Structures are given as structure tokens and as C-alpha cells.
Amino acid sequence: MIGREVAWRIFAAEYNSSRLEIKGEGERAPSYIVSPLGAMVNRVFLVGVLTDLENIGTGDEPLWKGRLQDPTGNFYISSGQYQPEATAALAKMEAPAFIAVVGKTRTYSPEEGTMYVSIRPEKVRVVEARERDHWVLETCKATLKRIDAMTDAKEMTAPTVDELVKLGHSPPLAEGVVKATGHYQDVDLGRYREMVVDALKFLLPEYQSELESEMPTELSQRPEEVEDEETAEAAEEEKEDKVLAIITSLDKSGKGAAWDEIVEEVKRLGMDRTALEEVTNSLLDKGLIYEPVLGRMKRI
Amino acid sequence: MEKEELAPHVSEISRVLGSKVSEDQIEKELDTYLNLYRVSLETAKRSVVRKLGGDPNALNKGVQKKLSELSGSEQSVDLLVKVLSANRKEIEQNGEIRTLIYGLFADESGTMPYTAWDADRFPLERGQVLMVRNAYTKEWNGKPQLNLGTRATIESQSADAVKLPEGMDVPAYGPTTAKVAELLEGMNSVTLTAKILSVETRKIESQEGAKTLFSGMIADDTGRVQFSAWHDFNLKKDEVVQIRGAYVRSWRGIPQLNFGERAEVSRVKSPFPADLDLSKPKPRSIAELDAVGGAFDVLVAGIVVDVKKGSGLIQRCPQCNRLVQNKLCRLHGKVEGQYDLRIKAVVDDGAGSMTAVLNKDITEALVGINLEQAIKEARDAMDPEIIKERIEERLLAKPLEVRGNVISDDYGLMMIVSEARMFVPEVRADAANLLAELEGAQ
């Protein structure tokens, strides 16, 4: 049976943390990205806020790059002349907007051992807030299913697809989980669980008002982050490590470290707000931190 | 090779030699070739036949095939199979009562019904793994059927010699109790408790003459399924029954329940909540449907992730209703096509995807355009594709709930939709419940 690849529901924080790619052998064999929770992704369906959109190509050969934010981080999408339908749709769009994307996974490895993931859209549509909310809920449920499967796999000395299927997990997920447990060491399931809890709170007005009051206003006008993976240097990584340590130490409540407190802390390192933003954006990209709510940073 | 394993080959050689030589002598010769000189079985058999004055070419060629390769016209074929089911049946032949065994064989490639015409020579039992030699096939109802006749032999094999795809295998622990939603092609000895929603009788002609078939619909709290009872159990509408010893066959992926005279049917107290309407379609996930291959009248909810080619305003052949492309029907050549509207949407729930086919009436209601308007719009724009675009505009990336029968083919699951609605999901209550659950567990 030549089945169509299912469109996975996955949050940006989990997707961007993926470091395992399974390349299909042969001409038409599909490739997959295996997430730390065992999602074996070839196609995704996502709904989020299109925060930036730019044509970095030309009029004749367009190449649209966009950033799509969900409650946990950002998806990067790029669409060129080989995606005529999505490219034409993007050309008519303007950020900010709620958009839905059906797309294929893409990876980029600037050097050995590093891997960045993005999305190549097949279909793009402007949608409404309620459709985004529905997606967030569905994605919470899908993430919890993966956490359950990973929890079961952790109980086994050598998890197998058969055993996981016997416990009621679907065969595709069981396969991904076995691959993930073989590749990722010590995935912190508790943190992913907290991420789901935060995403659920995001949907509920009673929590939202409480969280909004903590939100620093200037954050909404954050300057643009520049993707420039090639110039990543050792010095940058050192800064990232320091910021990561600060975020961890400030996150006493478990709700993430408040932005203002991070800014105060990094001043001692001689970093200003702009420099900090560069570092946190990079950490967001790498999937090492995420924003549970606007204005708070949390380690994954 | 042990003596028992030699037996079928000894009898085969004996047949070729026409009982000129005693089986003891054949066995001794064969044993020498095989166990002393260690030549291959094939060579040993040929040599023994030649030595004892027979024609080695009369030995069976021993063509081994997979079940899926059988055409229905094999005169002699060898197969490595697992016995999925074995049912005994007495028949009268020339005034004598004979027992035969019939059921289903399986290998990696699929399943096939068989008949072993002698229960004593072929003591088949469910779960056995066998090398069947010199079987023959015949076509019955347009499908090949396997027969074990006088020339056939069986040899027991180790249990792991046949590895069946998941879900096809015999249940390891005898009879299975199943719910309707769990019924799977090839299941045997199923115990099911369900309510009879309808039953009708039908006279059919079978090999053994006219028979009455009792068929209809039964349901439990997981869904509905069509049944065929090959024996009169005096089934009545609205009764709740427990059926033991049923088996499952599927038609285009839709599992159907069968039970014959060897099954037991008893009336039981309804285990279903009184207010549950069993005749309503039940919601199913696409992954569940994928696992069983199809289902009768179910509800599926998902996101429309694609609107396939061939959706929108199409033309059909007035004679055979096939799609007309470039004014050509595949069967009838150049025809004046008749306009029709339809949607082939890919519905995806995050764990599985299926194609949903929506006919004209459902398309009109869902998209808010009727056929006449669609024809006019397409003419005005001089492009029938604008109707497909309009459908995409309306459906793509939106939640859709569809109802219908789900069948499967080479391209996966397909639902013939009988009802469709776009729905606005209730998010907050669901999210609050889930959050409470998670925080309660922490």
C-alpha cells in the first residue's frame, strides 16, 4: 500500500529540537525527521502567527522566508519556485496573520553534527484565531500521546515496536519512539509535559490575563532576528551557555525566567538587550529554550 | 531426516513406482541416500526412483509458490503456510460419510481458503505451520481456492517458519472476545456480544444445493457491522445476542462477521446503556481504521489537508458514468460528457489520513454552490478549475467531519461520504479538562 504521509501535529519547540534525520533510500523513498519524543515526521500541519514574511529572492525567482510562531517557539518556512502554489499564496499575505500550513520537513546542516530544521509549505491559508486554538489543543493531545509512548519506552530495557504497539501505541509512533530512544539521551519528559501545560494555559482566558500583566510591553517590538548560521562562532556559543545558565537559575517557579530579570543578569556580563536577543533567538532556534508565555524564557 | 518426515516422500515415491516395491524398502533406500550419503532430498528421491526401476520425471516438480501467486489453475503446487482456521465438515459421497476440513491458510503474501478432502490424512489444526506439497487450485466465484487431494502431503514445520504480517495471525490464546471496532480480516473463533439491528433471509445456491442465508446488521457500543449467518439461529431484530465461534472476512477492507452451524448463539441481557442509540455511526480515528482496513458507516473528524485533482466541476460519460477527460471516456471514446460536482478531499487527523469522496449533493451543500451556478461560473471564467479553487478556499486547513463507509485499496483508506459538516471545535472546555487532568496527575 502506498500510503500518504500523515501530517503530524507538533510544537515548534519539539520540532526544532530534532537532531535525527532518516534519509529515504531510492528515488521516491520518503525522508523523516525524528523528534526527541519520537514523532517521525515527513509532513506537518501547523497553525500559528505569521510574524515575518520576506521575499529574499527576485520577482521572477521568488524565495519567501517566513516565521510562524506557536506558544512554544517559531517555525521557519521557506517557499520558492518549486512550490508554486504555496509561493503564490504567500505573495498575497502580510504579517501578522494567523496562517495554516501543510508542509514537508526540511533540514539544513551547515557542518557535521549540527542540523537545523525548517518547513517547505505545500499549502498555506490565512485562518482565524479559533483555528489556531484548535490546532494548539490537538497538538497538546498529540504531544501527550508521544510523552506517554516515551514513558513506556523508558520502562523497557530495549524498547521494540511490537511491545509498544501491544501497549496500545500506534505502529508509526512506536517506530519513531524506538528510533528516538536510540538516538537522544535522557530526553527530559517532564519539561515537555510542562510545555504542554503552558500551551493549555495559553488557551484559557483565566490564565491569560494573569500572564499578560507580567508581560513587558517593549517585547512586542523585538527587532528582527537574523538567521546567519555560518558565522556562528565559539564566542557566540560561550555566550549562549552563559545565558542558558542564567535562564535556568532564574526559573525558580517553573514558569520560566522573566525577560526583565534575564536582562538585568546579562548586564553583568556586559551584554545589552540587543545582544541578549540575538543569543536567545539562537537558543530558540536550536530548541534549547522556548517561550511558555510572551516575556518568559524556559529551558527545554 | 526423521522417519516421520520421510513418510510423505516415501508415499510419493511409492505412487510413482506403482506399488511394485514395498514402502519399507523405499524408506530404507531413501534413508541411506539422505542420512548416510547426505545428498539433497530432490536428488535422493530421483535416485531412489531410478534405482527401483521407475521414472524420476513422474515425481512432482515441487514448484513452491506464495498464496498471492496462485492463479486458480495450478495442478501441483507446494506452499509454506500457517493454518488460520480449520473447520470439520461431514459430507456424503457415494453413500459414505466422509469428513473434510476447510478453512483459511496464510503466508506473508496473504490468505486463501482451502479444503482438505480427507480429515484423517490431513489432521489440520489452527495455528499449525505446514509445508503443503502437491496441492491443486481451482477457481471458485472468480477466486482461486486451494485443495488438498489424494496426491497432497503435509509436513509440519517450525512455528517461526511463516512470519505473518501484524494483525493477520491467529490469536495465540484460543477464542477472542472482540468488540465490533476490533474485528479484523482473518479472525476466527470470535466471541461478540451485540444487538441485532436488522435481519433478512436470502436463498442462495451453494455447492450443496439451496441454502438460506440470514444477513443483516448488528451493533455494539463501538460500531456496526454486517453479518451473515449460514445457519438458522432464529435471529430477531432488536435481540441482544452473544455469538461464539464467528469468523471475520472482509469486503474491500470492510470487515464482515460470519457464523455458521458450528457457532453458538445465546440471548443475553443487554450490556449497553439504555439511552445509547446503537444504530448511530460511531466516531473512529483514522489510525484505528488503518489497522482494520475499513469500516461500515463511521464518523471521522480531521483537517482537510488537500483537495485532490479531479475535484470540482467534472464531466462523466453518459453511458458508464466514468470520468471524461478531454472529451474522451476511457471506455466509450469521444462522448458528450455530463457535468457533475464532487470533492476528493484528504482528511488528516494527525495520526492517519484518508481520502473522502463527496458527491454532488454533499458538495453543493458544503460549498454553497449548485451545479448550474458552477457550470455558469466556469463558463464565464472559461476555466473549470475555478470551482476546485473555490472548494479549496472553503475547505482547506479547516476541520471537517465526515460520515460513511471506509474501504481500502492500494492507495490507502477511502470514505464514500454520506454526510459531511464543517465544525467549529470546542476548545476551551476541552483544554480546561485536559489541564485539570495533567495538574491532578502531577
Tell me the per-residue pLDDT of A138-161, one tens digit each, with 9 for 90 and over.
999 999 999 999 999 999 988 999
Task: Decide if B430 touches A, using CB distance below 8 A.
Answer: yes
B333-354: average pLDDT:
94
Q: Is the pLDDT of residue B432 over 50?
A: yes
At residue B297's C-alpha, the angle toward residues B296 and B302, to 5°, is 115
What are the C-alpha distances in Å from B112 to residues A99, A236, A287, B139, B324? 50, 65, 52, 12, 37
Do the Cβ atoms of B353 and A7 come within 8 Å? Answer: yes
Q: Is the pLDDT of residue B377 over 50?
A: yes
Give A43 to chain B, closest Cα distance, Å: 10
Q: Return d(Cα B391, Cα B312) in angstroms, integer.
A: 7
CB burial class (10 A; 0-12, 13-18, 19+) of residue A190? exposed
Q: Is the pLDDT of residue A228 over 80?
A: no
Q: Which amino acid is at A239?
A: K
Q: Return d(Cα B139, Cα B152) in angstroms, integer.
A: 18
What are the C-alpha distances in Å from A12 to residues A9, A77, A223, B178? 10, 12, 20, 40
Give B342 to chain A, closest Cα distance, Å: 21
Output the 3-class SS for chain B. CCHHHHHHHHHHHHHHHCCCCCHHHHHHHHHHHHHHCCCCHHHHHHHHHHHCCCCHHHCCCCCECCHHHCCCCCCCEEEEEEEEEEEEEEEEECCEEEEEEEEEEEECCEEEEEEECCCCCCCCCCCCEEEEEEEEEEEECCEEEEEECCCCEEEECCHHHCCCCCCCCCCCCCCEECCHHHCCCCCCCEEEEEEEEEEEEEEEEECCEEEEEEEEEEEECCEEEEEEECCCCCCCCCCEEEEEEEEEEEECCEEEEEECCCCEEEECCCCCCCCCCCCCCEECCHHHHHHHCCEEEEEEEEEEEEECCCCEEEEECCCCCCEEECCEECCCEECCCEEEEEEEEEEECCCCEEEEEECHHHHHHHHCCCHHHHHHHHHHHCCCHHHHHHHHHHHCCCEEEEEEEEEEECCEEEEEEEEEEECCCCCHHHHHHHHHHHHHHC
Q: What are the backbone dihedrals phi and psi of residue A61, each rounded to the nearest 5 degrees, phi first?
A: -120, 80
Predicted local distance difference test score (pLDDT) of residue A197: 94
For residues B171 and B400, the model is more confident at B400
Predicted local distance difference test score (pLDDT) of residue B62: 62
B395-419: average pLDDT:
92
The partner residue sitting opposite A123, judged by closest CB among B397, B411, B428, is B397
Q: Which has the minimum average pLDDT: A21-35, A122-136, B335-349?
A: A21-35
Which of A11-15, A262-266, B158-162 tops mean pLDDT?
A11-15
Task: Decide if B416 touches A, using CB distance below 8 A.
Answer: no
Q: Which of A200, A209, A210, A211 to mutate to test the interface with B (most CBs of B within 10 A)?
A: A200
Q: pLDDT band at residue B193, thresholds of 50, 70 and 90?
A: very high
Q: pLDDT band at residue A230, thresholds of 50, 70 and 90?
A: very low
Percent of chain B with pLDDT over 70: 96
Percent of chain A with pLDDT over 90: 52
Collect all residues of chain A within an 8 Å Cβ-Cβ radius of residue B439. Answer: 197
Predicted local distance difference test score (pLDDT) of residue B166: 66
Q: Which has the minimum average pLDDT: A279-293, B118-132, B357-371?
A: A279-293
Q: Return d(Cα B353, Cα A7) in angstroms, integer.
A: 8
A275-288: average pLDDT:
81
Predicted local distance difference test score (pLDDT) of residue A291: 82
Segment (H or E) for A22: strand A20-22
Q: Is the pLDDT of residue A214 over 70?
A: no
Q: Return d(Cα B125, Cα B132) in angstroms, integer.
A: 14
Task: Decide if A148 touches B, using CB distance below 8 A.
Answer: no
Cα torsion A62, A225, A38, B168 to 10°: value is -20
Do the Cβ atoms of A7 and B350 come within 8 Å? Answer: yes
Q: Is the pLDDT of residue A225 over 60?
A: no
- Range B176-276 has CATH code 3.30.700.30: no
Give, as one character, the DSSP assignment of residue A168.
Answer: T
Query: CB count, 10 Å around CB of B440?
Result: 7
CB B158 within 8 A of CB B117: no
For residues B188 and B235, the model is more confident at B235
Predicted local distance difference test score (pLDDT) of residue B173: 40
Q: Is the pLDDT of residue B170 over 60?
A: no
Task: Decide if B385 touches A, using CB distance below 8 A.
Answer: no
Chain centroid, CA A42 distance in Å: 15
CATH of the domain spanning A7-128, picked from 2.40.50.90, 2.40.50.140, 3.40.50.300, 3.30.470.20: 2.40.50.140
- The 3-state DSSP class for residue A279 equals helix
Collect all residues of chain A within an 8 Å Cβ-Cβ radius of residue B351. Answer: 6, 142, 170, 172-173
Beta bridge partners of B256: B249
Collect all residues of chain B within an 8 Å Cβ-Cβ radius of residue A2. Answer: 410-412
Collect all residues of chain B within an 8 Å Cβ-Cβ radius of residue A119. Answer: none
Q: Which CATH architecture has domain B286-422?
A: Beta Barrel (2.40)
- The 3-state DSSP class for residue A45 equals strand
- The 3-state DSSP class for residue A206 equals helix
Please give the grid coordinates belonging to residue B245: 465461534
Instruction: Locate the chain A residue with the closest alpha carbon to B306.
Output: A123
CATH code that applies to domain A216-300: 1.10.10.10
Q: pLDDT band at residue A229, thresholds of 50, 70 and 90?
A: very low
Average pLDDT, chain B: 87
Average pLDDT, chain A: 85
Q: Is the pLDDT of residue A232 over 70?
A: no
Collect all residues of chain A within an 8 Å Cβ-Cβ radius of residue B291. Answer: 171
Domain range summary for chain A, segments of one domain joined by +: 7-128, 216-300
CATH top-level class of B67-161: mainly beta
Query: CB count, 10 Å around CB of A229?
Result: 13
CB A40 within 8 A of CB A15: no
What are the C-alpha distances in Å from B101 to residues B17, B65, B90, B124? 29, 22, 9, 7
Task: Decide if A2 touches B, using CB distance below 8 A.
Answer: yes
Query: CB count, 10 Å around CB of A98?
Result: 19
Query: CB count, 10 Å around CB of B203?
Result: 8
Residues 6+ apart with CB under 8 A from B441: none
Please give the grid coordinates belonging to residue A41: 515526521
Give, as one character, the DSSP assignment of residue A297.
Answer: E
Do the Cβ atoms of A200 and B435 come within 8 Å? Answer: yes
Q: Return d(Cα A49, Cα B115) in angstroms, integer.
A: 63
Please give the grid coordinates belonging to residue B326: 478531454
CB A127 within 8 A of CB A98: yes
End-to-end CA distance of chain A: 38
Collect all residues of chain B within an 8 Å Cβ-Cβ radius of residue A131. Answer: 397-399
Q: pLDDT band at residue A218, thresholds of 50, 70 and 90?
A: very low
Produce one character per residue of B33-66: b if its CB has 16 or more CB atoms within 10 Å, e if not: bbeeeeeeeeebbbbbbeebebebeebbeeeebe
Q: Return d(Cα A49, Cα A46) in angstroms, integer.
A: 10
Predicted local distance difference test score (pLDDT) of residue A75: 95
Q: Which of A137, A144, A165, A177 to mutate to test the interface with B (most CBs of B within 10 A)?
A: A137
Task: Decide if A166 touches B, using CB distance below 8 A.
Answer: no
Q: Return d(Cα A252, Cα B199) in angstroms, integer.
A: 66
Q: Which has the minimum average pLDDT: A84-93, B138-147, B171-180, B225-234?
A: B171-180
Phi-psi region of B321 (alpha: psi -120 to 50; beta: other; left: phi over 0): left
Q: Return d(Cα B109, Cα A248) in angstroms, integer.
A: 55
Q: pLDDT band at residue A292, thresholds of 50, 70 and 90?
A: confident
Give B298 to chain A, closest Cα distance, Å: 20
Do the Cβ atoms of B397 and A7 come within 8 Å? Answer: no
Q: Return d(Cα A187, Cα A108) in angstroms, integer.
A: 23
Cell 542420512 sits at which residue? B35
CB burial class (10 A; 0-12, 13-18, 19+) of residue B351? buried
The partner residue sitting opposite A200, judged by closest CB among B305, B424, B431, is B431
Half-sphere exposure of residue B215: CA atoms within 13 angstroms, side-chain side:
11
Q: What are the backbone dihedrals phi and psi of residue B221, each rounded to the nearest 5 degrees, phi first?
A: -75, 0
Do the Cβ atoms of A137 and B427 come within 8 Å? Answer: yes
Predicted local distance difference test score (pLDDT) of residue B272: 87
Domain range summary for chain B, segments of one domain joined by +: 3-58, 67-161, 176-276, 286-422
CATH topology identical between A7-128 and A216-300: no
**ipTM for the complex shown:** 0.72
Interface of B with A in 275-304 (CB under 8 A): 287, 290-291, 303
Which of B137-141, B162-166, B348-352, B381-385 tops mean pLDDT?
B348-352
Do the Cβ atoms of A138 and B306 come within 8 Å? Answer: no
